[in-house]
């Protein structure tokens, strides 16, 4: 588990990117029923539908919704972190000793 909020945000962004890659790899308009070859007791092969196109479309829609939610949450967390940063006089950053007093 990450100890820093920036590590957590980077992890969330990597998960959002993996969702985006999944959606990009499975274009909505090119999806077909997923089938698997099965054999009956006589050795004849037939196609068995493992997942229908409707279920795949639903999965893609949910993945896109999750991606949008993740992006909005990442943006909110980044804005909160920016608000937490305190600027010292002269545009300089606070040192660790000074930050200790701000956090209280």
Backbone phi and psi for residue 32, each to the nearest 5 degrees, phi listed first: -130, 165
Q: So what's the pLDDT on residue 15? A: 92
Hey, what are 2's tokens? 């990450």
The conformation of residue 39, written as its DSSP 8-state character, comes to E
Residue 98's domain spans which residues?
5-102
Q: State the pLDDT at residue 93.
A: 72
Question: What pLDDT shows up at residue 2?
Answer: 44
pLDDT at residue 91 in the model: 62
CA distance 95 to 83: 17
Q: What is residue 13's predicted lDDT score, i.e. its pLDDT?
A: 92
54 CB-contact burial (10 Å; exposed 0-12 / middle 13-18 / buried 19+): exposed
Q: Indicate the pLDDT class of residue 87, thresholds 50, 70 and 90.
A: low
Residues with Cβ within 8 Å of 43's Cβ and at least 6 positions away in sequence, in order, are none
Q: Please tell me the total count of domains within the chain.
A: 1
């Amino acid at each position: 588990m990450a100890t820093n909020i920036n590590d957590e945000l980077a992890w969330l962004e990597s998960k959002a990117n993996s969702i985006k890659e999944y959606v990009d790899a499975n274009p909505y308009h090119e999806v077909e029923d997923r089938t698997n070859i099965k054999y009956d007791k006589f050795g004849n092969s037939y196609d068995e539908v493992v997942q229908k196109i409707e279920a795949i479309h639903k999965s893609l829609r949910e993945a896109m919704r999750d991606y949008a939610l993740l992006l909005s949450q990442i943006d909110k967390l980044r804005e909160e972190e920016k608000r937490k940063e305190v600027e010292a006089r002269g545009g300089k950053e606070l040192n660790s000793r000074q930050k200790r007093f701000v956090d209280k």
